[in-house]
Structure 1
């Protein structure tokens, strides 16, 4: 999800690449979440808020073959990539894209969906309660809102890696957590009470553990993700840690992360499903 993305920034292409790799690596887990959703009847109109390059959009189109999805994001580049994928997959007629800043005073008309999906999006909102109330009022009566969040940045390395700086990844995460605590204060929130406070009835909550063994795709995912992590924490790392991280990220180095056979992807995803019960 690119909440405030601007396509002239160099990091946008990198973010899009991470989103595409994330979709590929976590495809089975996303499918498990969509299969779990407590829908009463199959939705026909779905809104994917903060859709990125379409991981949730295409999972939902697969899960609900009669549905149409309105995919919303602030990044024109991400939406362009999503439309290209939709054409490649033969589902372009079932997808509408809308470029919008979800923190703006007003939203464009997104219809009256039966299901709203927000994956890794809500924690970016400047005013999450306002967003929750907007979604509540937009949904059809009885409609479902699914909030999906990762439990922080994925882990890729064993605790004793790399050999010259054991525990490097954990220190990188600690630096990232300090940064996010200041700039993204809603990351890691418990969305259940917030959904209830916004007028929803909480229908269920589920946490899925992700623990995947090394593959070429996971190698690329780790490289791209840690490069992006480095861009946000370089100033906060000790010189020796930064040097060790740069060795891992140097694809020509014998210490490159792509040469390690002990890579995994470890994280958790939690989904909250909440229903609109109030009459329109």
Structure 2
């Protein structure tokens, strides 16, 4: 969102992956939205559209809160906005759903939302896995805080614990393959941040950053995505998507033996294909950081 290019994306395949991911974690997202949305809330701004799974949950919850509810979805990608808007609009009657093409990294964010005909402030502003893509994360939090009504909340979801899907020893390469894959992924992320134009470090935790952004009563809670082995079809697909992401830049960061092992795990025609294993699991924890706009 606002920090990477959408050029050369196979949108049909990308949306299919995003929709599958939404469906996989819908129970957890429903619980998160239930904790965040208060009975008196009538408006939500979601920053980062995805395929609209979270927006649909917000639409259903807002509909239960009463009339005149508004949901605004913001992203830079027209394809994502169209998909998210359609899914959210079909999820609940009586909720005004608006999509706004705008950049969370731009100081004109609030003005662009207002110019698109949506309310520039909301009872709840929600941004999942967005802020870490912004060059200046603290400035991004301050920008998002401007979208919150006095007394409202900003909720930012960021990674808690790294996702685990493999047993400690998969029978190829040395034991501990997944730990090495995750270490390489963390290296990739830190390099991505370091090479970002205008990158500014954020040497504090998210609740502290919320306070520095002018919000009060900063707090956090985490939610688990816990699917033990054996996984069903959707679980196996989620585990395979995770392993495919770990393949990114693996050649530059891993020993050849580990790259070969990962390729074998991802090869549907090979004897070591992870999709055929009955010991795959899916365990992950994400953290929701919440700050309140002073009344």
Whether these two folds match at TM > 0.5 is yes
Report the CA distance shift for 1:197/1:188 in structure 2 as closer, same or farther (over 3 A). Answer: closer
Aligned to 1:59: 57
Aligned to 2:70: 68
Q: Check whether the contact 1:61–1:69 (CA below 8 A) recurs between aligned residues.
A: yes
Aligned to 1:28: 27
Which structure carries more relative contact order (alpha carbon 8 Å, separation 6+)? 1
Q: Check whether the contact 1:4–1:74 (CA below 8 A) recurs between aligned residues.
A: no
Q: Check whether the contact 2:207–2:218 (CA below 8 A) recurs between aligned residues.
A: no
Report the CA distance shift for 1:91/1:178 in structure 2 as closer, same or farther (over 3 A). Answer: farther
Aligned to 1:262: 279
Determine helix, strand or coil for the equivalent of 2:163. Answer: coil
Q: Check whether the contact 2:166–2:279 (CA below 8 A) recurs between aligned residues.
A: yes
TM-score norm. by structure 1 comes to: 0.88
The Cα shift of 1:166 comes to 2.5
Asked if 1:197 corresponds to 2:199, the answer is no
Distance 1:43 1:63 in 2: 10
Determine helix, strand or coil for the equivalent of 2:227. Answer: strand
- Which of 42, 45, 65 does residue 43 from structure 2 map onto? 45
TM-score norm. by structure 2 comes to: 0.84
Q: Tell me how many residue pairs correspond in the alignment.
A: 276
Structure 2 unmatched runs, 5+: 115-119, 195-200
- Which of 84, 107, 113 does residue 109 from structure 1 map onto? 113
Report the CA distance shift for 1:54/1:7 in structure 2 as closer, same or farther (over 3 A). Answer: same
Question: Which of 43-52 and 75-84 deviates more?
Answer: 75-84
Distance 1:87 1:193 in 2: 36
Structure 1 unmatched runs, 5+: none
Report the CA distance shift for 1:85/1:45 in structure 2 as closer, same or farther (over 3 A). Answer: same
The Cα shift of 1:35 comes to 1.6
Determine helix, strand or coil for the equivalent of 1:43. Answer: coil
Tell me the C-alpha RMSD between the 2 structures: 2.5
- Which of 262, 270, 285 does residue 245 from structure 1 map onto? 262
